Structure 1
Amino acid sequence: AYICGEETGLIESLEGKRGHPRQKPPFPAVQGLYGCPTVVNNVETLANLPHIFNRGVDWYRSIGSNAKNTGPKLYCVSGHVNKPAVVERELGVPLLELIDMCGGVRNGHKLKGVIPGGSSVPILRAEECDVRMDFDSLAAKGTLLGSCGMMVIDETACMVRLALRTARFYAEETCGQCTQCREGTWWMEQVLHRIEHGQGKMSDLQMILDMCSNMKGVTICVLSDACAMPVEAMLYKYREEFEYHITQKRCMARE
């Protein structure tokens, strides 16, 4: 289950329980698997260690865009590119360079946006994509590096449908412990489904923004935030498409 990507949810699952994230503290390093101190790391982090031990910290720090963003990184480039791929480059490689390395936007279409760090982070509009793929540069643009799972979106994509699919994914993957996540993701999917099918109202847009505000920073884990942040950004940055769906009962991207 997706929720078991959260470290305490993973520990619960390993103990034979439902993968429900735990309240923290205590943190896993103090009380983790079967009550013992436990370190949980991403496999990519562990894969870096032999190289650092063999070549030294200075070598590792020499790779990257600046002194605060160092080391190699795996970028999973998917979506509307001609050659989706996992690319290993330095932390801080230009985003547009990664798209070029994957053959550019498919079928000669125009770039519409990029989700730089997996489905849980805010989207960048095409004009915001001249940015380096590191923590600080993306934070300055109001988004996150996240898992480095880049999702490239071309001009044919419907942002309302993308928002709906995002909400639907998190509604299906929530563990249901926290009210704001369990109810918020479900209701967000319902409202977006209504808009996508030409049955929405203008007041639905403010309702979505209110739900996003009420879902962030109030739950045991960040799955609720992971649903709210991308949907909120899609609505703010492509609001005209949502309004068109409501007023014209059809998709602007298909015109």
Structure 2
Amino acid sequence: MSNQVKFLTKNFGQYDTSSIGSYMDIGGFEALRKAVTMDPEKICDMITEVKVRGRGGAEYPLGRKWSQARAVVGENKIVVCNADEGETTTFKDRELIQKDPFNLIEALIIAGYVCGATDGYIYMRAEYACLRPLLLNAIRQAKNYGFLGENILGKGFDFNLHLYSGGGAYVCGEGTALIRSIEGKAGRPRMKPPFIKVSGLFARPTCLNNVESLSIVPHLLVDKGRVYASCGSGESIGTKMISVAGNVNNPGVFEIPFGTTVREIIYNLAGGIQHDREIQLIQFGGASGKIADASILDTPYTYDDLRNAGVMVGSGGILVIDERTSVIDFLRMNQEFFSEESCGQCTPCREGNLHIKIILDKIASHTATQEDIRIMATIARVMSMSSLCGLGETAQNTLQSAMLTFPEVFEVGGTES
């Protein structure tokens, strides 16, 4: 377990998550007290200095996002926390909510201060309903202690926080679909522009962030020893929460310094492969993530190294599949998910997912032709270029990467090893 670090997770198990007093006893809300004495742009600069990228999958620099949100002209701005966490094999945000809820509340208040917002919204996936009482209690206590409401800490800063639960749709992890869901509309993406930062929730300027992205900020503000900046490798500074699942002995959530190798993650932290079987494939970043074979094991877990290896950090999920599952069967399972979760609004995604599912079934039954394979590759490419939202654009990442990594599987008349 030597590869684990405790920066975001340092509060885990250290306080009673139902008591704001217990949180304050370990230094809770000191980051907020410091933040409201600072120029908001200085906070953005601090985040930019350590190159924090969005942890939801898009990897957009957090300091830049907050600075841009602050620069938007408009009244009654909003910050939104995306706690939908709909990517399969991704459950690190759940850990942050469950084991450190007051830190998330503090982070949202700081985000509101920096962005000039008056309201914050937490959009939590329906399956996390068991965590609603925990967050509602944290919000209520924060308000009772004067950390929410009017004139927070006597600084003339007003901010209120609201909790919403989704309906269980994967597509609501996409920003515009999430916003429409909060508004009481069907959770379907909309065209951009206008961009969320200009016209988002209730047509008000909105800054949308992932749970992990937000959770970093309070820790950074009180990081006197620059622990975060001392971790990492190259352009990937700091630590990352990852979720490891699949055919491993010790699945779970781990906080690692960037630069830890994939082998160390799977064999040290996750305890290796069940019954010492061979790895068939590894998927990075959830259902919309790309896959690799065992040759990636010695690749450092950083943004640049993983991208150069043909995959990406994405949501932080790592799914390990052993030799018992064929590549095609895995792709069929993945495709079944997207065929079900597509909202059906745009033609490339609605029809593309359906037809790729049909062709994968033909490959599995050994009835596919070379023309089927060509058509499937074309549909995947068109989807990635012309779908309305990120679901359609990334739904075929797994298939496209599989065609590069396991070309023999897609040879008509060939067999899987």
What SS class does the counterpart of residue 40 from structure 1 fall into? strand
- Please give the alpha-carbon distance, in whole angstroms, between the structure 1 residues aligned to 2:327 and 2:361: 12
Q: What's 1:54 paired with?
A: 222
Q: Summarize deviations over 1:140-163 as a string: whole Å, max 9, x none.
A: 112211011001121222100111
Equivalent position to 1:84, from 248, 251, 271:
251
Q: What's 1:158 paired with?
A: 326
Q: What's 1:167 paired with?
A: 335
CA-CA distance at 1:57 after TM superposition:
9.2
- Please give the alpha-carbon distance, in whole angstroms, between the structure 1 residues aligned to 2:345 and 2:224: 44
- Please give the alpha-carbon distance, in whole angstroms, between the structure 1 residues aligned to 2:338 and 2:224: 41
Q: What's 1:233 paired with?
A: 401
Report how many aligned residue pairs link the two structures: 248
Equivalent position to 2:413, from 237, 241, 247:
247
What SS class does the counterpart of residue 395 from structure 2 fall into? helix
- Please give the alpha-carbon distance, in whole angstroms, between the structure 1 residues aligned to 2:304 and 2:416: 34
Structure with larger Rg: 2
Q: Summarize deviations over 1:162-211 as a string: whole Å, max 9, x none.
A: 11111111111111121111110111011111221333223222121111
- Please give the alpha-carbon distance, in whole angstroms, between the structure 2 residues aligned to 1:82 and 1:204: 38
Q: Which ranges of structure 1 fall in alignment gaps of 5 or more residues?
A: none
Equivalent position to 2:207, from 10, 15, 39:
39
Does the CA-based 8 Å contact 1:176-1:182 persist in structure 2?
yes
Does the CA-based 8 Å contact 1:114-1:129 persist in structure 2?
no
Q: What's 2:231 paired with?
A: 63
Q: What's 1:74 paired with?
A: 241
2:210 paired with 1:30: no
Letter in 1 for 2:263: L
Equivalent position to 1:15, from 183, 196, 208:
183
Does the CA-based 8 Å contact 2:280-2:326 persist in structure 1?
no
- Please give the alpha-carbon distance, in whole angstroms, between the structure 2 residues aligned to 1:225 and 1:46: 26
Q: What's 1:116 paired with?
A: 284
Letter in 2 for 1:83: N
What SS class does the counterpart of residue 39 from structure 1 fall into? strand
CA-CA distance at 1:112 after TM superposition:
2.3
Does the CA-based 8 Å contact 2:285-2:316 persist in structure 1?
yes
CA-CA distance at 1:59 after TM superposition:
3.4
Runs of 4+ in 1 over 6 A off after TM superposition: none
Q: What's 2:111 paired with?
A: none
CA-CA distance at 1:129 after TM superposition:
2.6
Normalised TM-score (structure 2) = 0.57
Normalised TM-score (structure 1) = 0.91
What SS class does the counterpart of residue 281 from structure 2 fall into? strand
- Please give the alpha-carbon distance, in whole angstroms, between the structure 2 residues aligned to 1:157 and 1:129: 19
- Please give the alpha-carbon distance, in whole angstroms, between the structure 1 residues aligned to 2:387 and 2:369: 29
Q: What's 2:356 paired with?
A: 188
